[in-house]
Structures are given as structure tokens and as C-alpha cells.
Amino acid sequence: MPCSEPELMDLSDDNDEEPTEQRESAFNETYVDNLGSEDASSTSGETGENDMKILIATDIHVGYGENKSVIHDDSINSFEEVLQIAAKENVDFILLGGDLFHENTPSRDIMCKTVRLLRKYCLNDNPVFIEFKSDPSVNFKHSNFARVNYDDCNLNVGLPIFTIHGNHDDMAGMGLTALDELHESGLINLFGKFEQVEEMTVSPLLLTKGTTRLALYGVGSQRDDRLNRAFESKNIHFLRHGAEAEEWFNLLVLHQNRPPRSKCRSTGNYLPVKYIPSFFDVVLWGHEHECKIRPEYVDVSAKMDGDGFFIIQPGSTIATSLTPEEALPKHVSALTIRGRQFQSRPIKLETVRQMMVRTINLDRKPKGYSFPLYGTREEEMYDEVIVIETIKELIKKAKETRGPRQPLLPLIRINLVYSGPWENVKMYSGRPLWTIFANEVANPTTMLMTKRSKAKKDKEAPRVNEFDFSVFDKSTTSIEDMVSEVLSFADFDHRLTVLTDDVLKHTLRTYTRDQTTVAGANRKLDEMLNHKLNLIQEKLVGIGMDKLKSGKVPMNRMEKELGDEIRRMKEMMYSEVSEQNRQRNRINPDEMFE
């Protein structure tokens, strides 16, 4: 424990107190490709006496897929690899950007496995060279223990972990997270926890090693809208070391949406970088799973070029969704800070399960190919064949590129888009894939995702489907006539088969105009529907039995044959009804079923 703490002042909202000529150019001076060496090579796993070496990672999601047969151990294996890398690199501490757990109430099994790993890799006799200079009662005010874990004489911590909470391990119930349990047991150091986001004062953890000074700020996951408004109202204050502010390297850890996620909300449901004060040198951005491990420079100040900060977005260590962004290689980074400079060295994870994602856009019809009738499918259709061949190709590629520590079975996702001439074709369900590739992929039941992409209609066209009442004739006054006219615009394939237009029109007239009770009208409708349904069923059963007895139609083709027969009956029925309507204005539903 330090005998005295540096004095902190709120300088984050008044940049005029900090002369710009004294501020180092972040772009030109702060980030370097190689810090060089002091007493030892920075790539050998050892560091100089002034080099503060940190392993940064985020979104580990321990517990993801724990109930799935193949991937149940993936998340815990990735977490162990992160700890192994930290031990191999001989880092001073690990810094996590939130979402250590996938659930904010992890199962006993997951919590037990996590504690075992933390005890295995973090509790040892290795010396910790990082000095804690700030007031721990302020940094860890949520805890009953006012000290950082490696300064606790009752614990033997050789690899400290500092972390904020994410949206998955967020506060629930009494304001506690699963991370609070690990913090109170002395296994990690949880910081950046705030109960009120409307008014927030962020006090940094002040850490030193030799001449290097690190001011570590953290803001645990908050609702983006609320955090956005708090920044806009200038209700978030970052404390800085007043007299020697420029001698400290400033690092902020966040867990928020980085790109806009909503077009409906005025805030965009994300945290704009313009709200982040420019005195920060590096921002560790959690929550985004896409790996952007190379530091990205952001210039948010108009006062001078280079007065900005770098964002490092490690991404998740495990894929929790089957998207192209998650299919990118997963990394952590060894961040070395010396004075006001840093270098970031990406380290690729070797135990992450392979993921192959492919999008197939069906927007052209093969030459000479004919589509089946709407609502039906044939065996070995073109879309089914191309999906199966693509999966086989991806499995072959996965086998050729799999690393020695990667699991055997890859994750595969095929995004099948129906557009153009395929727009009205019944989509492939993908069910046979479950059995074909059950032992070759890790996710046989979720490999296929289908989508129908319909062409945009002319905005000037009448919006009949949106009930644009201006299309009705002036003489159309009754509800049954209005409904009948709307249905007459519908495509034949979308018109009703059992509850036909005229039956519906007669039913509406019964409900709205005849002197009949609701119960009586319901009975009348049921009688008409049952009578017509029985006629259709009897005819279909007779046709089906005749075709089966003849032996000309196999059972697996019967569905298509009956579908074709229903369409012919529907065409004949509507043709008869049209002829009757030309002869008389009012239809007798009983005659229509004869």
C-alpha cells in the first residue's frame, strides 16, 4: 500500500487548462511499431524495468454453448489459452474489456471451471512489479476489501487480472454481477462499476512500474442511450493528476456499441467517439466481436493534428454468432507501455474453432431449368444441390487449413438468398443436411439460413395491399364489396382456396346486414366451410387412392400430385363462380358447392 495517493483533479471538461503545445502528438509520438529494448528483448517474454506489459482481451463469454453437444467446452478452452499466453509472455497483468461470462448467472459447472483456471494460473509465487498508487477504497468502493488483490497479505497473486463488467455479466438483482463473486474471493480486480450513469465521476487506477505511469480508467457496460445523454449533458467527469497529468499514460476501457445500431433512436444506440476526451492515449473497446486488433487512430480534436487517441478492438475470443465478422481469426494483444509510448503486438489464438461462412445469392435461373408450381418442391432442386456442394467444399477447406490445436469439426453457415426469378420459389428447408453432415460439422442443425429478397415496387403504384381506399369506386359502400374488390386484385396463387372470395363476401353480409345473431352467423359460416372442406377432402382422397392403386405415382411424389390437383380444382371453382356472377348479382353459397 502506498503511503500517499496522488492528488486527482477533474480536467476532462476544460481542455483550455491544458496548453496544446505541451500535448504530445499521439499519432506521431505515442504509438510505435517497436519500442526497442532496455535490458531485454520485448519479444522474448521478458520486459525491461520500465516496460509495463499488459495482455488485453475482451468478450471471452465463458459458458457459451455449454449445453450444446459439440461446442460445450470451446469457451473455457479459449479462456485457458488466454491465461496460458499471459503466463508465457510474462505480462505484468491481464486487462479484460467485459463479458467474461456469457450469462450474468453462470451455472455452477461454469463458475467452478472458471475458478479452477484462475486459481491455476493467477495464484502463484511470481513477483508482481506493478505498484498501486491510487486509493483502492475509491477504485473498489463496491467491495468490502479496500485493496487490490496482489497487495492482500492473505493472497498469493502472481498474475493480476483487471476487468470491467460487460452487458452479459451486468448488474442484476442487488446490483451484483458474477464478477463480484470473483472479486470478493480475491481472484480478479473488478473496476469501473457505477450504479448511477446520469452523474458519473471516473477515478483512475494509478499504476506504476519504474518510470512508467499508467492511469487506467474503466466504465462498465451501460445502456448506450443513457450514456449518450450523460455525455451530452456533460455529467461524466474524468479525474486526472493535476500537476503531472502529462506524465501519465491514459488508457480507457469501454464496453459499448461502437457503430450505430438503431435508426429509430435519436442517439443511434451507440457511443460516438466524439464524446471520449482527447487526453486518452488508448481506448480498449469491448462488446464488438469483430477483431480489429491493429490500433486505429481517431482524431477528435480540432485544435491540432494528432491530438487524438488509438482504439484497440480485440473482438471476442469465441464466436457466438455465425457471421462473416465472427469468422475472422481471433486475437489478443500484448500491449507494452514505456513512458508515454506503447506498442501493440497481436497474438493469434490457436484453439478457436474454425468457422466458414458463405453467401449464395440465387438471382438467375439456370439455362433450361423450369421451376415447380408455386408452393411445391421437387427432389434435388438446383438450390439444394448447390447448397450441398458448397458445404462439401467448405468442409474440405476446413480440413486443409485446420491448425493442430483447433477442434476437428468446423462451424459452417450458408446464407441462401432467393431473389429475381427465384423470388416465389418455395425455399429449401435444409432438413436433410442434419443427417448428411451430422458427423462432419459442429452445427448441423443451424448451417442453413434462408432469406427472400423481393424487388422494391414502384412507389407510384397503387398500394392495394396497404388498403389505399382511394382505389375503390365511389359506388362501393358496403364492407363486403370493399373486401371483394381488394381480393380481386390479388395474384391467383395468393387467393383463398376454401374460404373463397364469394363465400367471404356472403359471410360478411350475414354478419353486417342480415338480421342474424353473431352465434347464428358463426354456425352458418361453420356449416359452409365444413361442407366445402369435406367435398375437397373426399375428392382428393379418391384421386389419391386411384393413383396409388394404379402404381403410376410413387408415394414420395403424391404430395406434388395432390397440390396440382388442388390448384386445378381452385381454377375450376373460380371459373364457375365468375360465370355465376355474370348471370346474377347475388350468389347462393349452397349452389356453389354442388
133 residue type, one letter: K
Cα–Cα separations (whole angstroms), residue 14 to 10, 118, 310 = 8, 41, 21
Answer whether 93's CB lies under 8 Å from 126's CB. no
Cα separation, 563 vs 566, in Å, equals: 5
Torsion of CA 382, 387, 389, 393, to 10 degrees: 150
Radius of gyration over alpha carbons of the chain, in Å? 33
- Size of the chain in residues: 594
Strand arrangement of the beta sheet that strand 448-452 belongs to: 355-362, 411-418, 448-452
Helix 108-122 vs helix 74-89: crossing angle, to nearest 10: 10
Residue 251's Cβ-side half-sphere holds a number of Cα atoms within 13 Å equal to: 30
How far from each other are the two terminal CA atoms of the chain, in whole angstroms? 96
What residues contact 160, with CB distance under 8 A and at least 6 apart? 92, 93, 94, 122, 128, 130, 148, 149, 150, 189
Give alpha helix (H) positions in 301-424: 382-401
Torsion of CA 230, 231, 237, 242, to 10 degrees: -170
Active site residue 168: yes
Catalytic residue among 168, 183, 331, 506: 168
User: Which residues participate in catalysis according to the annotation?
Assistant: 168
